[in-house]
Amino acid sequence: MIKANGQDLAASLKSNFALILEENRKLADKIAYSEVAKIIPFIQDAERIFIVGAGRSGLSLHSAAMRLMHLGLSVFVVGETTTPAIRKGDLLLAASGSGTTSSIVKAAEKAVSSGAKVVALSTTANSPLATLAAHVAVVPAAQKQDHGTTVSEQYAGSLFEQAILLLTDAIFQTLWGIDKTPAEELWKRHANLE
């Protein structure tokens, strides 16, 4: 048994993993899937998809970018050196728990001024990002500065970031079900310079 400060680390890990899974299960019951489903036509209608998020939310969206690329969609991550200019016909998929993260709001402003559409995943529909978005799917998780334990016992918005990863995987699975391209074909698009 491995211990630190008298604590059984394995038992602590198991307990915390169960907490994370349970919080995500409870959150899954509160999500308005009809609102998340409205994101799918935006993705289908976009000429190109741009992904933007900061910190761990951004990392979750990087996973979504890869999955959408596997479907054969043209996807770019904002901030990468090879990301082209956004234009009319494009979609900016943004994630921000607060909807106030300045870099994300600025990207949304640029997208809108360029004629692109913005779709947001956020904990709130009342924010600068939401004002710019053509659609906001609310993920009822704690924002990163919500240090209470009413919504989540996890640290600094972790539940929101986990939900973004899981929700965008569900969006991918739904799109893949529509697309029906065999997994073997999708795999041919997977990175081979790893």
pLDDT digits (tens, 9 = 90+) for 155-173: 878 999 999 999 999 999 9
Q: Residues with Cβ < 8 Å from 140, sequence gap 6 or more?
A: 27, 30, 31, 123, 151
Q: Are 91 and 48 in contact (CB under 8 A)?
A: yes
State the chain's mean pLDDT as an integer: 93
Whether 3 shows a pLDDT value over 90: the answer reads no
Active site residue 185: no
pTM here is 0.92
* Structural tokens at position 11: 């038992």
* Total length of the chain: 194
pLDDT digits (tens, 9 = 90+) for 14-36: 999 999 999 999 999 999 999 99
For the chain, what are the domain ranges?
33-187
Q: Residue 186 and residue 67: Cα distance in Å, rounded?
A: 9
Percent of the chain with pLDDT over 90: 81
Residues 6+ apart with CB under 8 A from 103: 52, 54
Residue 143's pLDDT band (boundaries 50, 70, 90)? low
- Residue written as tokens 């761990």? 56
- Set 23, 35, 80, 161: catalytic member: 161
Task: Identify the CA nearest to 61 among candidates 164, 173, 174.
Answer: 164
Smallest CA-to-CA distance from 114 within 57, 48, 44 is with 48
pLDDT tens, residue by residue, 109-126: 999 999 999 999 999 999
Sheet holding 75-77, edge to edge: 75-77, 49-53, 91-95, 117-122, 135-138
Predicted pLDDT of residue 4: 76
Instruction: Please state, in angstroms and rounded to a whole number, the distance separating the CA atoms of residues 57 and 3.
Output: 32
Note the pLDDT tens digit of each residue in 43-90.
999 999 999 999 999 999 999 999 999 999 999 999 999 999 999 999
pLDDT, residue 145, reads 60
- Is the distance from CB of 31 to CB of 140 less than 8 angstroms? yes
Instruction: Specify the 3-state DSSP secondary structure of 21.
Output: helix
CATH class of this structure's domain 33-187: alpha beta
Structure tokens at 106: 């600025």
Confidence of residue 149 (pLDDT cuts 50, 70, 90): low
Residue 121: strand, helix, or coil: strand
Q: By C-alpha distance, which of 89, 102, 13, 9 is closest to 52? A: 102
